[in-house]
Structure 1
């Protein structure tokens, strides 16, 4: 049996399959090794339904945010080992997950546009070049946090058209000081700001919203994707809710820059399962 995890900031989605049958799904809390210890993770997972898989799992592939080096990967791999001591365990970044899910064994550019943003150049086996995303204060262009930051700023400065301003105020009846408190004094301001993206989606037919999204994607391309060499020959693929829900706008920006739009997925999990099952068949054959 193969067990694959897509670990995000707020939740971790798990998919397990035996010999290519219909995958089963499990959901647990978000895991980021920057803020969690191995023991902390173990205690949380003990509350999940992992026990039903004990002794059945042969391979575990965990992809997550915050997995930026071997030390962070070890935090998660040791927790996994306590549940699956006989399994082969691999812990990788969510960026490699995006590359494997969208490109498989082909070379290309893989991007994440979700709460945050990220990108890399992939040679079909590994990430070869990576432009640092820098987080929503210094970077994260095109992300949910970035879109939300611009939207809230335009609302508070009254740059937003009056019709949308009234609509926004009715939907989010927060005072000026409440916005500032949530962004500067409370935890997870990036998630707070990304929470306003549905407003953009619902009003994407309005020129203001369409323009805001378009400029964010143009900035992402200029400051990230266009830094990679050989773009004219490679597909540019995306994973994440922002890319998925605004894929029409995203494809238009790509085409206008003579870039090749590739696969756009809301979530990578099922495609990752497909990737690993095919890889396992290949290894068994050869």
Structure 2
């Protein structure tokens, strides 16, 4: 077959095609197609391990991503791209593989009482199963053991004394690959307080900067982009919606299962906020036993 990439004049070969220009055009076309899919909410995401295999090389994917993020290099990363994370079985965590998607990029960069560095938010595609003595109905988790959404004298932030957060920090975090644990940036937010020594409060009474640790549940604001059942002001003053939750369908991408939020309900001293299995903003008693966690983290 003739070589159509060149032609010869007087014995001299001349190129007919510009390989560099063609590669650039192909890259632009691919990028435009991904943008189109994002615009119509049909983007399924790409495996970071596959797309960046040559770049990752022999380095584990978590360290590679952390180093890239810390350098502020987000080239080629898209909301919805994912890593499949193997979870090691523990006393209250079953062996499972959790698909973690990029939910936001530099969402809180330079924000907070201590400026936060470059980071990406990683969000599970589906709520995570629980096992052991913390599980209810085989694979679900209560927000708290009692129907109480107030903090305590020692810890005024309700979420930080929840059974949900205890499971995230003491059970789920140790079950993650050790290289991933090292790549996670601890999250610090302006977190609602709700406590009085004289009575149970039905609204959050203030806020303060608080460390959530390396694994945490999203707030109502981070999912819906506005307060729905949470306390106006104190529950939403710092947070903003993650791009991955820009449409209702994204809340049920992993199945029609309820999942907990870290926010507590306004107008009540006994309910916590969650996301319903059909996608709407909901609330339930902390002892409700058909709701699962959605443990998120930052890489950076």
* Structure-1-length-normalised TM-score: 0.24
Greater helix content: 1
- Structure with higher Rg: it is 2
